[in-house]
Chain A
Amino acid sequence: MEWEAVIGLEIHTQLATKSKIFSGAPTAYGAEPNTQACAIDLGLPGVLPVVNAEAVRMAVMFGLAVDATIAPRSVFARKNYFYPDLPKGYQISQYELPVVAHGRLDITLADGSHKRIGITRAHLEEDAGKSLHEDFHGMTGVDLNRAGTPLLEIVSEPDLRSAQEAVAYMKKVHQIVVYLGICDGNLQEGSFRCDANVSVRRKGATAFGTRAEIKNINSFRFVERAIEHEIERQVELLEGGGQVVQETRLYDPDRDETRPMRSKEEANDYRYFPDPDLLPLELDAACVAAARAALPELPDARRARFVEAFGLSPQDAEALTASRPFADYFEALVAAVGGDAKLCANWMMGEFAAALNRAGLDVTASPLGPARLAGVLQRLRDGTLSGKLAKEVFDAVWAGEGDADAVIAARGLRQITDSGAIEAIVAEVIAAHPKQAEQYRAGQEKLFGFFVGQVMKASRGKANPQQVNDLLAARLKG
């Protein structure tokens, strides 16, 4: 029996505002507990929420980026449930009239093809605080700093058919919100979190199976594993003659499994109603047009431009545009080198990415700016350096030994391009290996590489490789 998974994701993105969605308390991460929770966030009597214009603008930007409809009028609603990290006893959210609806984006599948995923809606809401269940003599500690932080909840259509597609979609949304600058995208700090609705059905069926909702997924790796486990669990259940129960499950990364939440933690009867403290949110055409004008170039457009303008392959363009700062760095590098985009792309995805990786740094924290890297590549292009020497110079420049020219001078790394000098080395090497020379002349052409190696070694890597090849070939012919 072949089964097909049907998956929809709800992604919570914390919007990168300075202040909360309904109050003037700060949103910075990592402050002392409860020092950023004001009377409004605490739901003290007599307070009134006032909507943060920047949070609205960010929601509109997201809507425009995914070709969605921006609601000219949307309404805030109360979602009622009781939990200690929700001081008011309700979360202010949007229900029937969200600010963004009917969007879409394209994901790239493993085989390089694209698939369009629908975005049902994206609505503004406030985050809850945090409950700490350990170390308080059997009590729960509550930190309300996060309460009232603006969230944009992005709800997909059930268009995803595998854990891999779900991850590709989640990464795409992540890329877009970070490109837009509306979310810092930090998964560790909980700025970007995801719930997954998962069901399975027989391949070819049109009706959906009963779904389970998996909560608490905060990494790309976990979303893939949690969904894979859930699909497996449901298929096993159905093949064993059982039924899937509609329920909320938690993914436990330590045990690598999903398990049902206790019924106490589950409250599906939220009794939404329009929040009487907040008037309808109206957005006029001018406000939407302003947000549209402020949209940066988005990943898909930038990828297409990189292919078009720089003659890169779609794969290279995809890798270079994965993050906005990386793509910015690339463009600055090409400008500084003065062309040769392919060389720049290879170095960025090769030596440069590897060095960042080794140092555990993001491109924004690179010790090496585009101008410095361009210095190395220029010496490679003008023949001062061979590819191998350029790597050595790169390492030295990375380590802070100065710019490319300073390193070349200090280490005497200038490539030998004087053909007389190379010819002398070539003659020396052939004379020192008469046996190999004879074998080569007898038809063992593989030995050519041996001679190249010996010449490079004798020149301490500084001989121009192309000249070495040419001169060796001529000399060895005898």
Chain B
Amino acid sequence: MSLGPAEVAKIAHLARLAIAESDVPAYARNLSSILELVARMDAVDTTGVEPLAHPLDMVQRLRADEVTEADRRDDFQSLAPQVEAGLYLVPRVIE
């Protein structure tokens, strides 16, 4: 499977990455070679192999349902470019 320029542009858009037009062929080539490697692995007989969801062979620890976090809004909002009335302000997302 190989990717064309249109697919590269779509992937970049979904990931919100701005890429230069001149770099598209190189991205297409490199991403395609990753997919080719994956395609080659498809040939391996995986009968009886459990799908791996995580490289660590461990189980998720759970935490008790307790409130442990205090309000630190002022600290967090000091990092934000714009706040008002306790809200984070961002460029308008609907017209």
Interface set of A (CB-CB < 8 Å, partner B): 17-19, 23-26, 32-40, 42, 44, 50-56, 75, 80, 82-84, 89, 97, 131-133, 136, 138-144, 262, 265, 267, 269, 271, 274, 276, 278-282
Instruction: List, in ascending order, chain B residues with CB within 8 A of A138's CB.
Output: 92
A128 smallest CB distance to B (angstroms): 13
CA distance A80 to B13 in the complex (A): 12
Mind listing 30 A-B residue pairs with CB under 8 Å? A18-B67, A23-B69, A26-B69, A32-B86, A33-B86, A33-B87, A34-B76, A37-B76, A38-B72, A40-B69, A42-B76, A50-B61, A51-B61, A51-B63, A52-B65, A54-B64, A54-B65, A56-B62, A140-B89, A140-B91, A141-B84, A141-B87, A269-B10, A269-B14, A278-B54, A279-B58, A279-B59, A279-B60, A280-B53, A280-B59
A37 smallest CB distance to B (angstroms): 7
> Are B86 and A279 interface neighbours, CB within 8 A?
no
B79 smallest CB distance to A (angstroms): 8
CA distance A163 to B62 in the complex (A): 40
CA distance A143 to B87 in the complex (A): 6
Instruction: List, in ascending order, chain B residues with CB within 8 A of A276's CB.
Output: 54
CA distance A80 to B63 in the complex (A): 25
CA distance A445 to B55 in the complex (A): 91
Q: Between A and B, how many residue pairs show CB distances below 8 Å?
A: 129
> Are B68 and A142 interface neighbours, CB within 8 A?
no
B18 smallest CB distance to A (angstroms): 14
Instruction: List, in ascending order, chain A residues with CB within 8 A of B92's CB.
Output: 133, 138-140
Instruction: List, in ascending order, chain A residues with CB within 8 A of B58's CB.
Output: 279
Instruction: List, in ascending order, chain A residues with CB within 8 A of B94's CB.
Output: 133, 140, 262, 265
Encode B7-18 as 1/0 by CB contact (under 8 A) with A: 000100010100
CA distance A23 to B89 in the complex (A): 24
From B54, B82, B87, B93, contact of A280 by CB (8 A): B54
Known contacts A34-B88, A82-B16, A141-B84, A131 near B93 by CB under 8 Å:
yes
Does any Cβ of A come within 8 Å of B56's Cβ?
yes
CA distance A325 to B45 in the complex (A): 57
> Are A19 and B54 interface neighbours, CB within 8 A?
no
CA distance A174 to B26 in the complex (A): 53
From A37, A139, A144, A281, contact of B82 by CB (8 A): A139
From B63, B77, B87, B93, contact of A50 by CB (8 A): B63
Instruction: List, in ascending order, chain B residues with CB within 8 A of A279's CB.
Output: 54, 56, 58-61
CA distance A97 to B60 in the complex (A): 15
Known contacts A265-B94, A269-B14, A35 near B73 by CB under 8 Å:
yes
Instruction: List, in ascending order, chain B residues with CB within 8 A of A26's CB.
Output: 67, 69
Does any Cβ of A come within 8 Å of B66's Cβ?
yes
Knowing that A19-B67, A139-B89, A141-B85 touch, tell me 6 more A-B residue pairs with CB under 8 angstroms: A17-B65, A33-B85, A42-B76, A133-B93, A136-B84, A278-B54
Q: What 9 A-B pairs have minimum CB-CB distances, sorted nearest first?
A: A24-B68, A141-B87, A54-B65, A53-B62, A33-B86, A38-B69, A279-B60, A25-B69, A35-B71
Residue from B16, B86, B87 with most neighbouring chain A CB atoms (10 Å): B87
> Are A19 and B88 interface neighbours, CB within 8 A?
no
